[in-house]
Amino acid sequence: MILILVEHGGGRPERLSLEALALASRIAAATGGPIEAVLVGSEAREAAGLLGGRGVEVVHAVEHDRLVAFAPTAWAAALVQLIGDRSPAVVLAAGSDRGNEVMAHVAARLELPLATQCTDVTPGDPLRLTRQRWAGSLLEDAVLDAPTKLLTVAPHTFAIEDAASGADAASPRVQPFAPDLTESDLRVAVTRRLEPDRTGVSLGDARVVVGGGRGVGSAEAFAELEELASLLGGAVGVSRVVTSNGWRPHAMQIGQTGLRIAPDLYIACGISGAIQHIVGAKAAKRILAINTDRDAPIMSVADYAVIGDLHQVVPAISAELRRLRDG
Amino acid sequence: MNVVVCVKRVPATGGRIALTADGQEIDTRFLGFTISPHEECAVEEAVRIVEAGGGSSTVLTLGPEAASEQLRDAMAIGVDRAVLLETDGSDWDPIATADAIVDAIRALEAEGERFDLLLFGNESADSGGYQVGIRVATALGLPVVTGIKAIQAGDGRVEARREAAGGWEVFELPMPAVLGVKEGLNLPRYPSVPGRLRAKKKEIVRIVPERRPGGPTKERLRLPQADESQVEVIGAGADAAPAVVELLVRLGVAAR
Ligand SMILES: Cc1cc2nc3c(=O)[nH]c(=O)nc-3n(C[C@H](O)[C@H](O)[C@H](O)COP(=O)(O)OP(=O)(O)OC[C@H]3O[C@@H](n4cnc5c(N)ncnc54)[C@H](O)[C@@H]3O)c2cc1C
Ligand SMILES: Nc1ncnc2c1ncn2[C@@H]1O[C@H](COP(=O)(O)O)[C@@H](O)[C@H]1O
């Protein structure tokens, strides 16, 4: 049996959890075992209804009057109890913030190894897998030898499968599960939430991102990039050099220790293309590099390039766009 | 308050990664070394907490003798002292790493030391296991939360925030506690020349840890298939602007 932690929000399963479910289905197809899912919290039943046609036989809806807000240790305690009851061969979750955190707790409690950010799995005993290092710039082939195999699934690796229709589309059977939680399990929980203050296009959702790196040269010079971004209805993102210099806040950083973006077009201005930056932008459909150096590493991942000083090129593009707009 | 911060020495890879012939390691012959930006912020936070409220800060790493470079870097910005869990430089899995750190913390506590806060990076730069801090906390019976980008500690409690859906989730933990932090927590300072000189004289406690492997077991490293594109140079300098706008229209991101 394969047990999967499915995160959900607003009564719907999260995207990354459905990707993890695609890997669970592959393992199930190879081993013939059934899939059971774990969903925590008040909207679990609603979200469970949307798992029909995805090969999940049973949903364990974890319900506890003190499990309203996210509580990593308590979620892990519930999972550990279910693992004890159901003896799954494989337990997996999305390689999301919560998925990695909860699975690390499960692994620590069971004193078992955990393979995070997996991109490929060959079921068996021991289990062979490939996992990401350096946020995906490097891969590691590894062996997981344990009575229960604990995994998380690298985001954006597995395509979400279409739900089956007809006889296979039945919703999973929902079984309530009331875990035994101690005070110590419940000692870490979200005590309150601060809602975002939304201004403008968010970097994560923008169709066009104008990226600026060391080549921009100063905090003030970002006005040139902001103008281009606003003409294109996009957002500005930056490299780590820019945040380390205090030119722009870290919330705007793209890369291994910043945000992963997936716009239609990424315009990288004065950015050399270090692997830690590129892992954050490689999901962009197209990359246009503007750089004085024809041989910068960014050229090997870019689709288009303009060779030149961004302080001349970027304002010229904005002027051309304004001319077009104003007829 | 007494703060411990755990860091890991990793190669400072730049434009592309090269592997050794046997695929076991990154070829570091032409590379410098560093720590994860997450951990740099953890180091800075430890220094700020002690500057603000007194106590002492300790930086700890498990790695080869050469990792004393990263310990000295941390001491150069103000960490009081360092602990090196010295290995032969080969990869230790997350279970072995966490066990060795737990042993070291217990040994220091056996000598009468007390720690209020243990800071980790959210994930290490190279292996990115997302687990060593949580394993250490579990073994020591301490509360832990990861993904933290704001910390306020005092009065036996620590408030820690993490980003979620553009907003913030706020946690409150009793101390002693363990936190896994992310870059953006603060803006780390650069070491000063006097700071570097002082760091040279500071103490590094050396311990030879016991290795108890627990997996996963690395077989080899591989580079992902390069999705390298042929770059099309569409122009040079400001004169390229019309061709760029032509392209933007063709890609459907600008309207004609
Ligand atoms: C563990 C780890 C994690 C990291 N995480 C991240 C991350 O999340 N995000 C990130 O960005 N980095 C990250 N880094 C840092 C990364 O390795 C690089 O140092 C950084 O991305 C370089 O930023 P840059 O391209 O702006 O600067 P540089 O590498 O200095 O490149 C500047 C570029 O600008 C060009 N240029 C200069 N002047 C002009 C001009 N007038 N017009 C046009 N072009 C010009 C130059 O030719 C050059 O190509 C990380 C590093 C490590 C070790
Ligand atoms: N060899 C090590 N020495 C000291 N701390 C480490 C080591 N490996 C990992 N850590 C700490 O644990 C965090 C999480 O690591 P990981 O579980 O590998 O992603 C890192 O950011 C470090 O703070």
Distance, CA of B83 to CA of B72 (rounded, Å): 11
CA of A169 vs chain B CAs: smallest distance (Å): 31
Rounded to two decimals, the pTM is 0.97
Token output for B23:
């695929």
Report whether B240 contacts A289 (CB < 8 A).
no
pLDDT digits (tens, 9 = 90+) for A276-309: 999 999 999 999 999 999 999 999 999 999 999 9
Q: Is the CB of A134 under 6 A from ligand 1?
A: no
* CA distances, B227 to each of A210, A303, B10, B17 (Å): 22, 11, 25, 15
Q: How confident is the model at residue B228 (pLDDT cuts 50, 70, 90)?
A: low
Beta-carbon separation of B222 and A141 below 8 A: yes
Q: In B, which residues are within 8 Å of A117 by CB distance?
A: 128, 130
Average confidence (pLDDT) over A222-228: 98
- For B185: left if phi > 0, alpha if psi spans -120 to 50, otherwise beta; the answer is alpha
Chain A contact set for B251 (CB, 8 A): 264-265, 286
Q: Is A260 on the interface with B (CB under 8 A)?
A: no
Least confident of A159-163, A223-227, B139-143, B204-208: A159-163
Which protein residue's CA is at the shortest distance from atom 23 of ligand 2?
B120
Kindly state whether B54 is in contact with chain A, defined as any CB-CB distance less than 8 angstroms: no
What residues of chain B, 122 to 141, have a C-beta less than 8 Å from chain A? 123, 125-131, 134-135, 137-139, 141
Burial class, A197, CB count within 10 angstroms (exposed 0-12 / middle 13-18 / buried 19+): exposed
Q: Is the pLDDT of residue B187 over 90?
A: yes
Query: Residue B8's closest CA among A216, A26, A151, A134?
Result: A134
Position A165 confidence tier, pLDDT thresholds 50, 70, 90: confident
Pocket test for ligand 1, best of A256, A295, A298, A307 (most atoms within 8 A of CB): A256
Choose the mutation target among A101, A132, A309 for the interface with B, i.e. most B CBs under 10 Å.
A101
Q: How far is CA B135 from CA A103, B82, B129, B131, B180, in A?
A: 11, 21, 11, 6, 11
The confidence score (pLDDT) of residue B74 equals: 98
For residue A132, how many C-alpha atoms fall within 13 Å in the half-sphere facing its CB? 23
Ligand 1 pocket test: pick from A276, A294, A313 the residue with the most ligand atoms within 8 Å of its Cβ. Answer: A276
Provide the H-helix boundaries in B62-121: 68-76, 94-110
Q: Which residues pair with A150 in a beta bridge?
A: A91, A114
**Ligand 1 centre distance from Cα of residue B142 (Å):** 38
pLDDT category of residue A236 using cuts at 50, 70 and 90: very high
Q: What percent of chain A has pLDDT over 90?
A: 91
Ligand 1 centroid to A298 CA: how many Å? 10
Summarised one tens digit per residue, pLDDT across range A86-119 is 999 999 999 999 999 999 999 999 999 999 999 9
Return the pLDDT at B225. Answer: 86
CA B15 – CA B30 distance, rounded (Å):
12
CA angle A190, A193, A194 (to 5 degrees): 150
Nearest CA in chain B to A195: B167
Burial A204-243 (b: 16+ CB within 10 A, else e): eebbbbbbbbbbbeeeebbebbbbbbebbebbbbbbbbbb
Q: How far is the CA of B156 from the centre of ligand 2 (A)?
A: 25
Q: Summarize the confidence of residues A215-230 as an average pLDDT.
A: 98
Ligand nearest to the CA of B90: 2
| Interchain contact A273–B (C-beta under 8 A) | yes
> How many cross-chain Cβ pairs, A to B, lie less than 8 Å apart?
263
B176 Cβ inside 6 Å of ligand 2: no
Residues 119-158 of A with CB under 8 A from B: 129-146, 152
The interface predicted TM-score (ipTM) is 0.97
The pLDDT, as a whole number, for residue B15 is 77
Tokens of B204: 């590094």
Among A132, A276, A308, beta carbon nearest to B240: A308
Residue nearest to atom 21 of ligand 2 (CA): B121
CB contact under 8 A, B170 and A193: yes
Q: Which residues of B touch A131 (CB under 8 A)?
A: 216
CB contact under 8 A, A275 and B252: no
Is the model's pLDDT at A265 over the cut of 70?
Answer: yes
Residues A287, A271: contact at Cβ < 8 Å? Answer: no
Q: What is the DSSP letter of B166?
A: T
Instruction: Say if residues A25 and A161 touch (Cβ distance below 8 Å).
Output: yes
Interface test with A, best of B136, B234, B251 (most A CBs within 10 A): B251
The 10 Å CB-count burial string (b at 16+, else e) for A40-67 is: bbeebeebbebbbbbbbebbbbbbbeeb
Alpha-carbon distance A223 to nearest alpha carbon in chain B (angstroms): 17
- Two tokens, residue A186: 């419940």
pLDDT for res A200: 75
Alpha carbon nearest to ligand 1 atom 18, residue: A274
CB A289 less than 6 A from any atom of ligand 1: no
DSSP line for A275-291: HHHHTTTTTSSEEEEEE
Q: How far is the CA of A211 from the centre of ligand 2 (A)?
A: 30
Residues A42-74 have pLDDT tens digits of 899 999 999 999 999 999 999 999 998 999 999
Which residue of chain B has the CA closest to A293? B236
